[in-house]
Amino acid sequence: MDYLDDNEYLKKIVPDTSSIIENSIKEIIDGIEYPEIIISEAVIAELEYQANKGKSTGIQGLKNIEDLQKLGEKNLLSITFAGKRPNNYEISLSKTGEIDAMIRDLAKSELATLITSDKVQSWVAKSQAINVIYIPQDINEDIKLKIYDFFDEDTMSLHLKENVVPMAKKGKPGNINLVKLSNEKLSYNQLQEFIDDIIEISRHDFKSYIEMDMEGAIVVQSREFRISIAKPPFSEGLEITAVRPVSNVSIYEYEMSDILIERLKNNSNGILISGSPGAGKSTFAQALAEFYSKEMNKIVKTMESPRDLQVSDEITQYSPLEGSMEKTSNLLLLVRPDFTIYDELRKTDDFHIFADMRLAGVGMIGVVHSTKPIDGIQRIASRVELGIIPSIIDTNIFIEDGEIKTVYKTNLTVKVPSGMKEADLARPVIEVHDFITNELKHEIYTYGEQTIVMDIDLLSSPEKPKKKSSLENIAEKEILKEIKKIIPKSRLKIEFISKDRIDLYIENRYVPKIIGKSGKRIAKIEEKLGISIGVEAIDELNEEVKTLYLEVNKTKKFISLYFPKEFVGEVFEIYAGDIYLLTSTVGKNALVRIRKNLEISDSITNALKSNVPIIAKKAV
């Protein structure tokens, strides 16, 4: 029976949460003389819960009820509230249907017609012989955002914030300018009007959807626009950032050699696209996706959060399934696409999922932030087993200013790493070659418990200023650790003579203790670290120690830097490797204490994580 044609069924109506949020109840009551609207307390509780979480759906639903109250004040309708208010446990089960069941019970007990925009709710109501009207959400194919007026053909992103003039980034990767769009500052009400419009359109445009709705933050994908909304308490004021791709380009618009195109066609199944933010990574990923889909006749899917790649309809775009990319990957392993674009790799779980899918035989294309060509591979190397890297990533394409700047390829071999000479130091090494020239650029291997990424150019170019390599930094830290186990308060100095030898300078009185009986102790250290160590006495050289390698201790509130007692009261400059941190006087307890809430503390912590030593030099 079509209840819309029978006003008697519409004299008394019970709307559910979906119809309140979608405001579809207005369509029902138009033309009905003084309808009686009974709103379940369960609806109020659910909307209140959502609003307290900062979700736009709850806020919009409460606003729509407020509008109904205003119509009631004008005697155009009757509005009452009835039914049991659910407890917190029942609200937490709303996705399982507890709230919907309470609303249906109210409609049944009141002999009223249930109004819903939820298809499942309407099916269940019909099965229980409840009068129900299902009003699907409007689908509008010709819808336009209010913020669209800020965009022109050169606009890449729009930046709106209350009490700030509207700004936009215009141009193309490599030539981007921040442009002021008006001299008038935007008000809170203007921003809220834009936000309401974005949320409303996301509900009625079949190509728009809310990707994330959390307290203080909403992310909406509206056709080609990715829109991020920030509001208190997450931010101190309302802010809207809308990003869109400037253009869709073909892979042939990039300057690529024939051998690179051939590799992409036939020999590359694990591709990493890297570059800094705004460099054009996503644009190239889109071009690559279309290349595989249309030219190579491959089945291509994407994994995105949020979904903002602009690809053709043949390419299905997936978001996290039930909030989990792992569940999305499990589905894709059943679908078995030829290639999957993973945009983008950030967290450790992302790299693990990417690796699992690649090892399962799916062609993978990952997008990752990096400032140098090697950074993308290095980020994977720190998260997966070293030996499988060439099976995961065979081609690394570095994008800069919208162009392909560098292409690397990887392979696994067993050899003595560059800079080492002893044959017994041979180990598995990932070689990273420039794809075009085949020149060896980097080596990745393990040294002790550390993963080393060696820049071959630093080893082979004597014209460049001397700079400690990753191997030297690790060796220096390991040597200091071993020496301080034996003589913790001694003055120390380390000097690298070659890639396989260092000289250790210590006070004369400690030399026998370091060398040990018949040289056994120093030999044991050399064997453990794989490097030859010469021991020299500082006193015999009549040399004053100007550089100290400091022991660092961290507590809840402080980072403490320990000095030998003889330097109490002296002034030192403190460095993380070659980077200056601060100048300080050594305290009476032979230490310098730094509060953890300072930026310097973060620098020291990051340096220690990267195996960079903390050193002190006497201030001149």
Q: Are residues 595 and 513 in the same domain?
A: no
- CATH code of 72's domain: 3.40.50.1010
Is 141 part of a structural domain of the chain? Answer: no
Domain residue limits at 86:
3-134
361: region left, alpha or beta (phi > 0 left; psi from -120 to 50 alpha): left
pLDDT digits (tens, 9 = 90+) for 297-337: 999 999 987 777 888 889 998 988 888 999 999 999 888 89
What is the reported pLDDT for 465? Answer: 44
More confident residue, 117 or 457: 117
Q: Are residues 443 and 305 in the same domain?
A: yes
Q: Are residues 339 and 383 in the same domain?
A: yes
Q: Cα(243)–Cα(373) distance, rounded to whole angstroms?
A: 25
pLDDT digits (tens, 9 = 90+) for 342-352: 988 988 899 99
Is 139 part of a structural domain of the chain? Answer: no
Is 233 part of a structural domain of the chain? Answer: yes
What is the reported pLDDT for 291? Answer: 93
Q: Are residues 498 and 572 in the same domain?
A: no
What is the reported pLDDT for 449? Answer: 67
Exposure string over 533-569, b if 16+ CB within 10 A, otherwise e: bebeebeeeeeebebbbbbeeeeeeebbbbbbeebee
Whether 616 and 548 have beta carbons less than 8 Å apart is answered as yes
Question: One-letter amino acid identity for 249?
Answer: V
More confident residue, 394 or 576: 394
Whether 316 and 339 have beta carbons less than 8 Å apart is answered as no
- CATH code of 282's domain: 3.40.50.300
Q: Are residues 80 and 108 in the same domain?
A: yes
pLDDT digits (tens, 9 = 90+) for 18-76: 888 888 877 777 777 888 999 999 999 988 888 887 777 888 889 999 999 998 898 88
pLDDT digits (tens, 9 = 90+) for 123-180: 999 999 999 988 876 655 566 788 988 988 888 889 999 999 999 998 876 678 889 9
Q: Cα(581)–Cα(578) distance, rounded to whole angstroms?
A: 9
Among residues 219, 243, 267, the one where a domain terminates is 243
pLDDT digits (tens, 9 = 90+) for 420-478: 766 667 888 899 999 988 899 999 888 766 778 888 876 655 444 455 565 666 667 77
DSSP track, 209-228: EEEEEETTEEEEEETTEEEE
Among residues 193, 218, 243, the one where a domain terminates is 243
Question: One-letter amino acid identity for 294?
Answer: K
More confident residue, 432 or 253: 432
Report the DSSP beta bridge partners of residue 450: 447
pLDDT digits (tens, 9 = 90+) for 508-537: 777 777 877 777 788 888 777 777 787 776
Q: Are residues 282 and 231 in the same domain?
A: no
Question: How many domains does the structure of the chain reveal?
Answer: 5
Q: Are residues 537 and 558 in the same domain?
A: no
pLDDT-derived band at 396, boundaries 50, 70, 90: very high
Q: Are residues 80 and 198 in the same domain?
A: no
Q: Are residues 373 and 445 in the same domain?
A: yes
Q: Are residues 285 and 424 in the same domain?
A: yes
Whether 320 and 307 have beta carbons less than 8 Å apart is answered as no
Whether 386 and 445 have beta carbons less than 8 Å apart is answered as yes
Global model pTM greater than 0.85: no
Q: Cα(258)–Cα(454) distance, rounded to whole angstroms?
A: 30
